[in-house]
């Protein structure tokens, strides 16, 4: 008979063997799985999916005095094709921030606190309208289908802008994470927007995208969220790569990147270098904030908000 210590050793060996087998079957080490889960939490604003969903359901926001919000305005027939419109009091010919949420192309919500709260609190009192956009997600569509949804929403919002007190000629595209990838893709390949009926816009703010060149990402070690979004379709990799789609100078762009991430700023600089070579005005702003913090803290007092405000002022906006 085994002693108590011997039984413990046997049980521990079985557990270790089972864990190793699971790792071998999945093709991932334990460290790789931890890194993947961390990446997915970052893509979801620093929260796990269930915690983030609870936060979204529980969050509430006090609007600036006199402001109004129109929720779930449909721009398409799918339940996900809706947008929320935050309007300041007595808006007239107001500039419009057109915000696209992130979430690894497979999750996220236009009403999440990190997506809207500080942005609405900062820019509505300055006279801006803020539009927060929902779109269909992977696996219902590919990231190219998401870009087409964003383009369709942009065309809709520009068409409705005057009825909201906005100016359709003074739109600025903004997005975080996967949303930053989508607005960068529209900026690099504006035919996606024009084919949906959208007009031009003044500039684009991309908040910590690390997906300017999807082909490079997919040919190197990467997190599985990219596989879920882009699969093995090499044509999709190319079509969804802002850097590879860029053929002419884009609208002025500000690319914010987290200096805490190895991939974000390098990808942003690659895009900016190509845009500059084509005569574009694209600047990269590295900042010592985590991925989710860049989204949530924009609009709060600090260097990030000051940098974005300066970019907006360079577009002759308030």
Residue 23 confidence (pLDDT) above 80: no
CA atoms within 13 A on the CB side of 311: 25
pLDDT of residue 61: 80
In the chain, which ranges are E strands? 68-74, 82-87, 94-100, 129-133, 166-176, 203-207, 253-258, 282-287
**3-state DSSP call for residue 129?**
strand
pLDDT of residue 21: 38
As a whole number of angstroms, the longest Cα–Cα distance in the chain is 86
Is 298:258 a contact under the CB 8 Å cutoff? Answer: no
- Give tens-digit pLDDT for 107-150: 999 999 999 999 999 999 999 999 999 999 999 999 999 999 99
Count of Cβ atoms closer than 10 Å to residue 62 Cβ: 9
Distance (Å, rounded) from C-alpha 176 to C-alpha 197? 24
What is the pLDDT confidence band of residue 39, given thresholds at 50, 70 and 90?
low
Residue 37 confidence (pLDDT) above 80: no
Using DSSP bridges, classify how beta strands 82-87 and 129-133 pair: parallel, antiparallel or unpaired: antiparallel
Q: What is the mean pLDDT of the chain?
A: 87
Is 194:121 a contact under the CB 8 Å cutoff? Answer: no
Element (H, E) at 216: helix 214-218
| Terminal Cα-to-Cα distance of the chain (whole angstroms) | 81
Query: Above pLDDT 90, what percent of the chain?
Result: 80
Cis peptide before 73 (omega within 30 of 0): no
Cα dist. 175→12, 26, 131, 183, 305 in Å?
A: 47, 33, 11, 6, 14
CA 277 to mean position of chain CA atoms: 26
- Give tens-digit pLDDT for 218-268: 999 999 999 999 999 999 999 999 999 999 999 999 999 999 998 999 999
Which tokens is 142 given?
A: 């590919």
Measured in degrees and rounded to the nearest 5, phi and psi for residue 112 equal: -60, 145
Residue 300 confidence (pLDDT) above 70: yes
Edge-to-edge strand order for the sheet containing 282-287? 68-74, 82-87, 129-133, 94-100, 166-176, 203-207, 253-258, 282-287
Query: Above pLDDT 70, what percent of the chain?
Result: 81
- Give tens-digit pLDDT for 57-92: 435 688 999 999 999 999 999 999 999 999 999 999
- Give tens-digit pLDDT for 169-197: 999 999 999 999 999 999 999 999 999 99
If you average pLDDT over residues 81-107, what whole number do you get? 98
């Amino acid at each position: 008979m085994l002693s108590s210590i011997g039984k413990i050793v046997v049980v521990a060996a079985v557990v270790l063997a089972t864990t190793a087998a699971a790792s071998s079957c999945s093709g991932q080490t334990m460290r790789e799985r931890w890194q993947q889960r961390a990446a997915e939490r970052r893509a979801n604003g620093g929260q796990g999916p269930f915690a983030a969903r609870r936060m979204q359901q529980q969050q509430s926001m006090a609007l600036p005095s006199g402001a109004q919000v129109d929720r779930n305005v449909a721009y398409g027939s799918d339940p996900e094709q809706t947008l929320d419109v935050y309007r300041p009091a007595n808006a007239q010919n107001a500039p419009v921030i057109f915000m696209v949420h992130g979430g690894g192309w497979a999750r996220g919500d236009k009403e999440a606190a990190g997506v809207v709260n500080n942005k609405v609190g900062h820019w509505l009192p300055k006279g801006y309208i803020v539009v927060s956009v929902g779109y269909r997600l992977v696996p219902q569509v590919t990231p190219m289908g998401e870009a087409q949804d964003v383009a369709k929403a942009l065309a809709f919002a520009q068409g409705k802008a005057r009825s909201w007190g906005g100016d359709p000629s003074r739109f600025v595209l903004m997005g975080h994470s996967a949303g930053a990838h989508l607005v960068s893709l529209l900026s690099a390949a504006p035919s996606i927007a024009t084919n949906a009926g959208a007009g031009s816009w003044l500039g684009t703010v991309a908040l910590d995208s690390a997906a300017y060149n999807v082909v490079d990402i997919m040919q190197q070690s990467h997190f599985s969220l990219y596989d879920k979004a882009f699969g093995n379709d090499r044509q999709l990799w190319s079509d969804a790569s802002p850097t590879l789609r860029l053929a002419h100078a884009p609208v002025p762009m500000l690319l914010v990147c987290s200096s805490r991430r190895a991939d974000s700023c390098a990808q942003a600089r690659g895009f900016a270098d190509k845009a500059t070579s084509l005569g574009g005005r694209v600047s990269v702003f590295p900042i010592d904030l985590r991925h989710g913090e860049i989204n949530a803290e924009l609009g709060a007092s600090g260097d990030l908000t000051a940098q974005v405000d300066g970019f907006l002022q360079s577009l002759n906006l308030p």
